[in-house]
Amino acid sequence: MTEKITPIREKMLANIRIQRFTPGDDRSSYFDNFKVQVETGMTVLEVLRHIKNTQDSTLTFRAFCRSAICGSCTVRVNANSVLACSTQLLPIIKDFGKASVTITPMANLPVIRDLVVDIDPVIEKLAKMHPYLMENRERIPETLEQESLMSKKELKQFDSLTDCILCGACFSACSTVKVDETYAGPLTIAKAYRFSIDPRDSFRGMRIQASMDQGLWSCVQCRKCLKVCPKDIRPADSIRQMRRIAIDDGIHDTAGSRRAKAYTDDVEKFGQVNKPMLPVVVNGTKGWTAIEAGEAALEKHGLAPTRQVCTLPGQEGAAKIYAKVREIEKKEKAREQQ
């Protein structure tokens, strides 16, 4: 006889601390506390709806599909950006070991009311990336009856990126957007990359330029965007790939591409990065000011500055790895051109 398994249902009285903001109100943002019996399986969105239905009907938040598809319900729970409709609250309460959680709106965007933010700044940045296919005449058939086919290998390059639901969790978590509001943000560059490597598209050059104009090289690769993405899209990896295709397409004259080249050349040559000279390699003659300031600071503390970098033991191994990688890349390129 099959044994019937009864799921364990737990309950916990929790304090839900929610950031509030009412436009036109004298107060800037403030926090309200609500007591809620949180049960196994209850999502953040269910808790918010429960509070709205039973305790404060003025509480404002955004949600539509309740199925992790529309991307509208992103909030921060204990400072982590999450989809409210697909995130259960009880495990978070248990992880933090405290019967209290704080819910705040997404970061890096202006708040309209309570947990609702204005997403126009993201949409404006995204629009500059031309996030749609611009017809590649060589791949689009002449008649409507024919399909535009692509190989499995071509599809694999961007397939997972098509799962992005534009929820903005990555934008909310991004360290660079936090300090530089002109930076495009992870989701916009990931979208630009997705269309740029689609063989049916012909606008790659324009998107690379648009990405560079909006800070392609400003991403610090902290990978926070990657940790919060509910669809496992890995925007930080797409940003690295976008930089790679920019260099492959011959765009070498940017501070970022010069830095990337200096890193690889130095590690191959010395087994480490030649940091003392990096500012000049990256920024040209302007870099001398940074070098001189650094040297003056070292001298002030009785340390002798150096512009020489020593060759580390193991450099030969690094050089061999580089030679092997270049050989593999060459073979792959030749195969692609066949």
Residue ranges that bind ligand SF4, judged by CB under 6 A? 164-170, 173-176, 186-187, 190, 219-225, 228-231, 233, 235-236, 239
Residue 215: contacted member of ligand SF4, ligand FES, none (CB under 5 to 8 Å, by partner type): none
Task: Rule CB under 6 A: say whether 47 interacts with ligand FES.
Answer: no
**Which of left, alpha, beta for 270 (phi over 0: left; psi -120 to 50: alpha)?**
alpha
Beta carbon of residue 92, minimum distance to ligand SF4 (angstroms, whole number): 18
Smaller CB separation from ligand FES, 70 or 133: 70
Alpha-carbon gap, residue 157 to 180, rounded angstroms? 30
In 55-133, alpha helices (H): 89-96, 120-127
Strand (E) or helix (H) holding 20? strand 11-20
Euclidean distance between CA atoms 326 and 270, whole angstroms: 18
CB atoms within 10 A of CB 328: 9
CA dihedral 202, 205, 210, 213 (to 10 degrees): 180
Residues in Cβ contact with 60 at an 8 Å cutoff, skipping those fewer than 6 apart: 113, 114, 115, 116
Q: CB of 66: closest distance to ligand FES in angstroms?
A: 5
280 is a contact residue toward ligand FES (CB under 6 A) = no
Q: Does 69 engage in binding with ligand FES (CB under 6 A)?
A: yes
Give the one entry of ligand SF4, ligand FES, none that residue 63 binds, where binding means its C-beta sits below a cut-off of 5 to 8 angstroms depending on kind.
Answer: ligand FES
Q: What pairing do the DSSP bridges indicate for beta strands 80-83 and 100-104?
A: unpaired
**Choice between 176 and 274, CB closer to ligand SF4:** 176
- The nearer residue to ligand FES, 76 or 243, going by C-beta atoms, is 76
Query: Judged by CB under 6 A, which of 30, 64, 96, 288 binds ligand FES?
Result: 64
Select from ligand SF4, ligand FES, none the partner in contact with residue 229, using the beta carbon and a kind-dependent cut-off of 5 to 8 Å: ligand SF4
Q: How far is the CB of 74 from ligand SF4 (least distance, A)?
A: 7
85 makes contact with ligand FES (CB under 6 A): yes
Contact 66, 45 (CB under 8 A): yes
Alpha-carbon span 28 to 51, nearest angstrom: 22
**Among the residue ranges 14-22, 46-54, 71-79, 258-266, the one whose residues contact ligand FES (CB under 6 A):** 71-79
Q: Which is nearer to ligand FES, 166 or 184 (CB)?
A: 166
* Interacting residues toward ligand FES by CB under 6 A: 63-66, 68-73, 83, 85
